[in-house]
Amino acid sequence: MSSQPGFPAFAIARLPRIEFGAGALRKLPAIAAQYGKRLLIITGASSFTVSEAGKTLFTALQAAGFTWEIRRVTHEPSPHWVDETVAGLQGDSFDAVIGIGGGSPLDAAKAVAGLLKPGNSVMDHLEGVGPELPYQGSSTPFIAVPTTAGTGSEATKNAVLSVSGEHGFKKSFRDDKLVAEYAIIDPDLLATCPPAQIAANGMDAFTQLMEAYVSTRSNPLTDALALAGMEAVRDSLLAFYRDPADSVARGKMAYASLLSGICLAQTGLGSVHGVVAPLGAFHPIGHGVGCGMLVTEATRLNIDLLEAREPDSPALAKYTAIGKLFEETPPNLPLSGEEQEVGDESFLPPSLIRGGLGRGFFGGYPLIHALESWAKQLNLPRLSDFGVTEADIPKLVANSRGSSMKTNPVELTDSDIANLIRACL
Ligand SMILES: [Zn+2]
């Protein structure tokens, strides 16, 4: 095959059909009825089922003649939880699985929908542990209804399952057949999110968008979506954090989260997601807050290393393009008094000055500045607040080379990854 210069070739894998908008949850009964009237509903601890939106939904489902079982996920789901849930439901027959909640219930529902019919253990398919048998299906139709703005799980083909503790791991059950039939994104469902969760989920969404954008597997279509998503986060994250009742801000964050899921399913992620997996497996650190704690230093490291090792990398121009989003301070990105004007060289951190003042470094600087500002304004903790110490670094490094690390725009050595974690302690 000849490879002629021109517009790059790319492929986009399966996406869910999407219903987005305030009040979209009202469409759920009609959408689910296409598949039948027997539902398995997987949701979080209790907040949705006792909310006004939950009560309205269950009344509507009852009136439309549905029957259902409910299963609850109170933590990030484990392979054991998935297997037990599937085993406990054998003998029943469901027309559709509805996942309603944050990333954990959605991932749990996605995995259960995949395994209800075949009935085997999810350990057969989990990446990086066990036999990694190909998933044959068939899956039960899955409808995803996110109630947080962060993981993008409503648009992805993988369910992340966790085992915590000394021999813990976080690994994906991944297949195109697991993608939801429908994603119903109703930003009104985000109105009850607590601020700490808004901060964590928002940093996850931004990290996913940025890692997708600079991924070695990015393409023109995901680039366009990722940039639009980062712009939406820029304009709305702090406003949503300060006031969850701000319907414009939460709509933009729900949109950004959806875009992050669409992008990451096509492009993979990067070093933040590579490191956050073992962090969450070995320490009590939620996914989103873990991303928030790592993303500034990971971005700084990527830019530094690209400048030093691969100055012609297209990822450097992309960091510059993200930096441009932050060059003019938008209304929702107030800078505190002691912070200096962007572009003032005397304020540049020494790590960025190393290696000279290259184009990408200059361009990426407003991005680093914005990430530092978010960490402060969103009150993000540091790794040491969770008891992570220097002694934990070798084990974290050794377990950070999952699928995400493979699409980081620059290859990281073990000592690079150790330095990244050390800078976040
Ligand atoms: Zn994530």
In total, the chain counts a number of residues equal to 425
In this structure, are residues 53 and 218 in contact, taking their beta carbons and an 8 Å threshold? no
CA dist., res. 249 & res. 58, Å (int): 28
Instruction: Measure 205 CA to ligand 1 centroid, in angstroms.
Output: 7
Q: Coil, helix or strand for 67? A: strand
In this structure, are residues 202 and 250 in contact, taking their beta carbons and an 8 Å threshold? no
Instruction: Measure 390 CA to ligand 1 centroid, in angstroms.
Output: 24
Instruction: Measure 208 CA to ligand 1 centroid, in angstroms.
Output: 6
Per the structure block, which two tokens stand in for 244?
A: 């969850």
Instruction: Pick the closest to residue 48 from 99, 124, 107 (CA basis).
Output: 99
Q: Any idea which residue has 């497996």 for tokens? A: 281
Instruction: Measure 256 CA to ligand 1 centroid, in angstroms.
Output: 13
> In this predicted model, what pLDDT tens digit does every residue of 79-96 receive, in sequence order?
999 999 999 999 999 999
Residue 385 carries which DSSP code? G
Question: Which amino acid is it at 383?
Answer: L
Question: Which amino acid is it at 193?
Answer: C
What is the model's pLDDT at position 364? 74
In this structure, are residues 335 and 329 in contact, taking their beta carbons and an 8 Å threshold? yes
- Taking 50 as the pLDDT cut, the residues of the chain under it are 330-331, 333-361
Instruction: Measure 287 CA to ligand 1 centroid, in angstroms.
Output: 6
* Arithmetic mean of pLDDT over the chain: 91
Instruction: Measure 129 CA to ligand 1 centroid, in angstroms.
Output: 20
Instruction: Measure 59 CA to ligand 1 centroid, in angstroms.
Output: 33
Q: Any idea which residue has 């978010």 for tokens? A: 374
Instruction: Measure 33 CA to ligand 1 centroid, in angstroms.
Output: 32
Q: What is the pTM of this model?
A: 0.91
Instruction: Measure 78 CA to ligand 1 centroid, in angstroms.
Output: 17
Instruction: Measure 357 CA to ligand 1 centroid, in angstroms.
Output: 31
Per the structure block, which two tokens stand in for 391?
A: 């002694």
What is the model's pLDDT at position 278? 96
